[in-house]
Structure formats: C-alpha cells, structure tokens
Chains A and B, each alone.
Chain A
Amino acid sequence: DIQMTQSPSSLSASVGDRVTITCRASQGISNYLAWYQQKPGKVPKLLMYAASTLQSGVPPRFSGSGSGTDFTLTITSLQPEDVATYYCQTYHIATWTFGQGTKVEIK
C-alpha cells in the first residue's frame, strides 16, 4: 500500500502569512494527488486535484505543486476562514490513501 506522510502535523501562522504544507508518498504516484480542506465540525471539501489543478470555486490563494513523491500545498496569504485541517490523498492506480492531516491555526 502507498503511505502518505504530511508535515507538519500542525502549524500556527498570522493572517497574511504564506503557509506551506508538504505531503510525501512512499512510492511514485505521478500527479495523482488531491488536497482536501476540513473545517472544524464540517465535511471535507476538495480543494485541488492532479497535484496543481484548483477545484472550481476555490480561491486562487491556494496552489499546489509536485510530482512523483513530493508535493506541496501553499496558501499565499492566510485568511481566518482558512482555519482547518488539510489532507492530501493519492488516487494512484485505483488506490486511495489519505495523509494524516495538517491542522492550520491562526496565531
């Protein structure tokens, strides 16, 4: 099975800061990587797929990059409504695995 490892597990940043979350796959997954946002008490929401393609309606301050085993999710200017836990997910060759999540808080 493919393992997905996110870092950090949590972070605290100020409004307007640039925030970067990394996700590493245990084997190459090309660009079969999605990011989800789960706000407290809410259902997960698809942010991005194919590593860097923004889902419709997602603000452009979110961006993604990477291929193979190493991926990043960047929030260019953190907003209060971005407080959430972010999960990466691979869907490589019909295998679905989530990372353990990164909790983002406002300092």
Chain B
Amino acid sequence: QVQLVESGGGVVQPGRSLRLSCAASGFSFSNYGMHWVRQAPGKGLEWVAVISNDGRIKKYADSMRGRFTISRDDSKNTLYLQINSLGAEDTAVYYCAKETDWAKPFDYWGQGTLVTVSS
C-alpha cells in the first residue's frame, strides 16, 4: 500500500537550514506530482510547495518563495524540502502528500515531521 515517511525534522536554531525527506513506496513515484504542507502547532493546514512528476514544474506559496526549495530523486523514490534561514514562524509539522493527478487533491499523506525553531 502507499506509504509516505517523512524525516529530517528536529530542533533547529534560528537562521540555520534544514532538509526534510519523504520516502515513498507502494506506488509509481515518478508518475505523480508531490507536495509539502505544513501545520503550525494548534493551527490550520498551509500549503508549501509542489513539484511535478518530471520535476520540471516547481511552485511555492508566496510566503515560502525564496527560502524553500522542493526537489525529488526518482531513483530513490524520495521527495525533499530544503528550508533556509529558519525562523520561529517555520515551527510546524511538515507533511508530504501525493496528488491523485496533476493539479488535483491529495489522496495520501505522510505522518509528518516536526520542525521546531528555537535557540
């Protein structure tokens, strides 16, 4: 069955960088666009970024553009999110999610990885 497993979260000092990973299995990873969504503690869902199945199209939420970089390695069935210049506002659970099809909703989500930005 479809599995998405995030990793790479933890406690990070402000201003540092972090790379999150999402290992996918149970489906043809290279056929699907993939997303990152985050959720600050006690808050709602916030879409972060998407990468198309072939990696050519990358889009970011306006507030994320510039510090966030989404990428994928289809040989490893893995999605990545690089976050630079971390600030307190980036403290959140980061989920990866699989699209049902390009530009469509998300049918599978990982369990999330918690990023805490604190000195």
A positions within 8 Å CB-CB of B = 1, 34, 36, 38, 43-46, 49, 55, 85, 87, 89, 91, 93-101
A91 lies within 8 A of B62 (CB) = no
Nearest first, the 9 A-B pairs at minimum CB distance are A34-B105, A101-B44, A96-B47, A94-B103, A98-B45, A43-B109, A49-B105, A100-B44, A46-B107
Task: Report how many residues on chain B are interfacial, defined by Cβ distance under 8 Å.
Answer: 22
Pair A91/B110 contact, Cβ less than 8 Å: no
Chain A residues within 8 Å of B100, by CB: 46, 49
Least CB distance from A29 to B in Å reads: 12
When the two chains form their complex, are residues B110 and A46 in contact, meaning their CB atoms are under 8 A apart?
A: no
Cα separation A38 to B95 with both chains bound (whole Å): 13
Which B positions have Cβ atoms within 8 angstroms of A? 35, 37, 44-47, 50, 57, 59, 62, 95, 100, 102-107, 109-112
Closest Cβ–Cβ distance, residue A88 to chain B (whole Å): 10
CB pair A43 B103 closer than 8 Å: no
Q: Nearest CB to that of A49 among chain B residues? A: B105
Distance (whole angstroms) from the CB of A30 to the closest CB of chain B? 12
A85 to B44, CA, bound (A): 9
* Complex alpha-carbon distance, A101 and B37, angstroms: 14
Q: A34-B106, A87-B44, A98-B46 are in contact. List 18 more A-B contacts (CB 8 A).
A: A34-B105, A36-B106, A43-B95, A43-B109, A44-B106, A46-B106, A49-B105, A89-B47, A91-B103, A93-B103, A94-B50, A94-B57, A94-B102, A94-B103, A96-B47, A96-B50, A98-B37, A98-B47
